[in-house]
Amino acid sequence: MAAATLNRLSSPTALALKQAGLEYLLFDEAQAHAIRNSAQESAGQSPSPGGRTGVSQAFPSVRGGRSPSGDTQEKKGSQVPSHKTPPHPEAKAPQEAPDPANWPAIWQERLKKIRKAPVVWTYWELGRDLCDAPDPKRRELFQILLKDLAHPPGTHSFWPLALPGRDGEQQLEANALVFWEGVGLLHSRVVVIMGEQALHALALPDRMLAMRPFQQVRHQGRLLIVLPPPDTFTQEAQRLRALREFLRQALAPFA
């Protein structure tokens, strides 16, 4: 992104990102035209010129296709995936408070750099983005999303599920136990999981491994939201518009 647009970022937004420990996400302004179009389409209005393709066509309904139980469901028409919080949350299993002193050193150091937040994001490549040079396209994606959501400072944080291996190896090593203990220490009530590889690395019950993108489920007192991997949205503007509309509604109760 051009330095000129970066300099136009309002100081309150920049402060919010810094307070969340996300300095690398400072960026230019969100795409206002796309935001207006997505809002019009969600209200059933015709989009403005230049935005004919609506968010309702960006993704199939999460109620369609095969559900985790294996039943096939169909629904007429195409619409933005449901954002309603699943009812009847599961009871959180009693457990001892996690002790980061028992973690590998690299995870202890990473936790010190992460701020507590009600919403935590994760995806497979996050450990590399945090420890090495961040991917510019993924960085831009999260810049757009966080500014568009405009939540108060401290609402969002990024907690990796995998970090580089021993001796600075480039290959990422997942640690599901440390990840979930970290989520507890961060006091997070929502975990946004992006990508099938991330979903399968978190030692979730088998019934959750069949979750489709944009499905939500309660797990041990927290809301889990499954999304496609970040690279899906860096390539197609139409899908990004749908994602922004979905997140505005799904995360509103937690901001």
Tell me the domain boundaries of the chain: 19-90+99-254
**Got the DSSP string for 44-55?**
TPPPPTT--S-G
Most confident of 12-26, 61-75, 122-136, 186-200: 186-200
CB of 223 closer than 8 Å to CB of 85: yes
- Looking at per-residue pLDDT, the higher value among 237 and 174 belongs to 174
Task: Give the span between the Cα atoms of 99 and 117, in whole angstroms.
Answer: 19
Distance set, CA 199 to CA 66, 128, 149, 228 (Å): 17, 17, 24, 10
Please, which residues have CB within 8 angstroms of residue 123's CB and are 6 or more apart in sequence?
193, 194, 195, 198, 229, 230
Query: Residue 85: what are its φ and ψ, rounded to 5°?
Result: -70, 130
188 is written with which tokens? 């997070």
Helices within 51-195 (DSSP H only): 105-112, 126-131, 136-149, 176-185
* Maximum C-alpha span of the chain: 57
Task: Give the span between the Cα atoms of 102 and 244, in whole angstroms.
Answer: 38
Task: Give the span between the Cα atoms of 103 and 206, in whole angstroms.
Answer: 26
Tokens 């970040």 sit at which residue? 230
Q: Each residue of 134-175: pLDDT tens digit?
A: 899 999 999 999 999 999 999 999 999 999 976 556 789 999
Q: Each residue of 48-98: pLDDT tens digit?
A: 444 333 333 333 333 333 433 434 333 333 344 555 555 544 434 445 678
| Phi-psi label, residue 220: left if phi above 0, alpha if psi -120 to 50, beta otherwise | left
Q: What is the pTM of this model?
A: 0.65
CB of 184 closer than 8 Å to CB of 98: yes
248 is written with which tokens? 């505005």
> Closest Cα to residue 155, out of 188, 110, 203, 193?
188
Burial of residue 228, with CB atoms counted within 10 A of its CB: 0-12 exposed, 13-18 middle, 19 or more buried: middle
71 is written with which tokens? 């039943």
The size of the chain, in residues, is 255
pLDDT category of residue 19 using cuts at 50, 70 and 90: low
Task: Give the span between the Cα atoms of 123 and 158, in whole angstroms.
Answer: 9
pLDDT for residue 83:
55
The fold of 19-90+99-254 is: Uracil-DNA Glycosylase, subunit E (3.40.470)
> Closest Cα to residue 233, out of 134, 123, 159, 156?
123
CB of 128 closer than 8 Å to CB of 164: yes
Kind plus residue range of the DSSP H or E element containing 65: strand 65-66
Mean pLDDT of 127-136: 91
